[in-house]
Amino acid sequence: MLSLDTIDITDEQKYAEQGYPWREWDLLRREAPVFWYRRPGFEPFWALTRHKDMAWVSRHPELFSSSQRVSLNSFDVADMFARDREQRAALLGHDPAEAQSLTWMDPPVHHQVRQLMSPAFMPKAMAALEERFNAEAAVLVTEFLGLVDERGSADVANQLAAKMPVTAICELLGVPAEDREKLYLWTVGTMSRSDGTSAQDTFMRNVGEIMGYLTALVQQRMADGGSGGTDVVSRLAAATVRDRKLPLSTLLNQTSELLFAGNGSTRNVIAGGIRALLEHPGELRKLAEDPGLLDGAVEEILRWTSVAIHMARTCVQDTEIGGRLIRAGETVAMFFPSANRDEDVFEDPYRFDITRPRRTHFAFGAHGAHFCLGSNLAKVQLRALLRAVVPVLPSLELDGEPTVVAPYFALAEYQRLRVRRSGR
């Protein structure tokens, strides 16, 4: 019987085999929305499952720091990540305790670095790219349908959803057009197991190629001081924070974070959104008949898929949340999918409804200072793909059960989402 004593929300294998622990999160929201979670192999933490509590924590970075940790891990994985940070610090010559990307930064440095990059991600900048994304999406969907007809089925996750996010991030990073195909292939290679080597070897080889390329790109921008460029890397290379230039380590870590995070989250939202529409033909029909519902569909897909699973913060001052005292030094973890099914915010939250009244969801992680910088970029890509694919989705159906994993229960990752022509 499910109870607070038996719930398990940190088993990565269960996420892969059984999906999100919706029943556990529902129970926590009802009975213990601020819950002291203690399980073997994990440092204890406070699990937050209500929308309002996560919103409050997100708006108070002065009380809940990102600089010590941003995710939950077992003791073994935490040690592995700590060693990796130390090795990177030794290689790049910085203090391993010093935050090297936005995710790990606290105000005021977080705000200063974010402001350097923000212009490239604002709605005005995205509007300038939308026509190009629409054209690219039309080509991608046409090529994908060709694969479906040629082979009998094709994989949405890897053969349709994966390419546009890499291209989009490359655009913002100022990667030359002739190099973008390489970065796309390396990025897909971090998810591929098709070449006969072990998954870890394949992953490390492709990560090495990506990091080598990005290092050369960053060093070139730093050498010419940005040269007045408007791409993100040039902006960072030209800037000063606290009267000093940003070091190579910060530029490299921030650039790689944009590439990996921007690709991973958007790719999986696109795949999950297509799956949701195929599994809810009534909603797909409404969207196909009324393109004016597109913006609402995008927001509902973001809420429904909830691909970002959790983020952690460290309490720096004794604080009360939901009647529970969180002491300085303790960890709080925000489980975003639970917030996106909070019945106090979303009526009938387990219904997929593209006409749902607009409410603030947590698809882009924490709100406040750490609200995802790439949210506008993700939305413009999702709109472009939906415009192109919705007219043909009624002719497609799922081909077998999708395969979704959740590495470190941080992000839902589609490894397989095959579709075929309907009735075959």
The answer to whether residue 29 is domain-embedded is yes
- Helices 199-223 and 180-189: crossing angle in degrees, nearest 10, is 150
Provide the CATH number for the domain around residue 399. 1.10.630.10
- Beta strands 45-48 and 331-335 are parallel
Provide CB contacts within 8 A for 197, sequence distance 6+. Answer: 205
Residue 141 tokens, joined: 């969907």
With left for phi above 0 and alpha for psi between -120 and 50, is residue 196 left, alpha or beta? left
The answer to whether residue 333 is domain-embedded is yes
pLDDT for 192: 53
With left for phi above 0 and alpha for psi between -120 and 50, is residue 173 left, alpha or beta? alpha
Residue 57 tokens, joined: 């924590």
Please state the φ and ψ torsions of residue 385, each to the nearest 5 degrees. -65, -40
Q: In what order do the strands lie in the sheet with 34-37?
A: 34-37, 45-48, 331-335, 310-315, 64-65
The Cα–Cα gap between 380 and 7 comes to 38
pLDDT for 193: 47
> What is the sign, positive or negative, of the torsion defined by CA atoms of 368, 370, 373, 375?
negative
The answer to whether residue 414 is domain-embedded is yes
Residue 48 tokens, joined: 């937050």
The boundaries of the domain holding residue 214 are: 12-421
Q: How many domains does the chain have?
A: 1
pLDDT for 377: 94
The Cα–Cα gap between 72 and 78 comes to 8
The Cα–Cα gap between 127 and 130 comes to 5
Assign 256 to helix, strand or coil.
helix
CB 69: neighbour CB atoms within 10 A? 19
Assign 215 to helix, strand or coil.
helix
The Cα–Cα gap between 420 and 147 comes to 10
The answer to whether residue 2 is domain-embedded is no
The answer to whether residue 173 is domain-embedded is yes
pLDDT for 230: 87
pTM over 0.85: yes
The answer to whether residue 3 is domain-embedded is no
The answer to whether residue 112 is domain-embedded is yes
The answer to whether residue 304 is domain-embedded is yes
Only one residue has tokens 């060709």, namely 146
- The mean pLDDT values, 10 residues at a time, for the chain of 424 residues are 93 93 98 96 94 96 92 78 70 67 88 90 89 94 97 95 91 92 85 56 85 93 85 91 86 89 91 98 98 97 97 96 97 97 97 95 86 92 97 97 92 95 81
